[in-house]
Amino acid sequence: MNNKYIGIVLIVIGVALAVWGYNVYDSAGSQISRTLSGDTPIEAWFGMVGGAICALIGILKLK
């Protein structure tokens, strides 16, 4: 029963992180930076990849 709660919390946190990372990636400042230098902000990668990993662990906890 405890693993299910942890899994649900991890999924919620993972989705929130992924959305935050995408918002950072899609922001105006980030688009200008990508246009000028070709670099994507590291915060965007951390948010999207970290969120996906967190959500995946949460899904595995539910099983």
pTM here is: 0.83
The span from the CA of 57 to the CA of 15, in Å, is 12
Share of residues in the chain with pLDDT > 70 (%): 98
Residue 1 predicted with pLDDT over 80:
no
Burial of 54 (0-12, 13-18, 19+ CB in 10 A): buried
pLDDT in tens, 19-39: 999 999 888 888 888 888 888
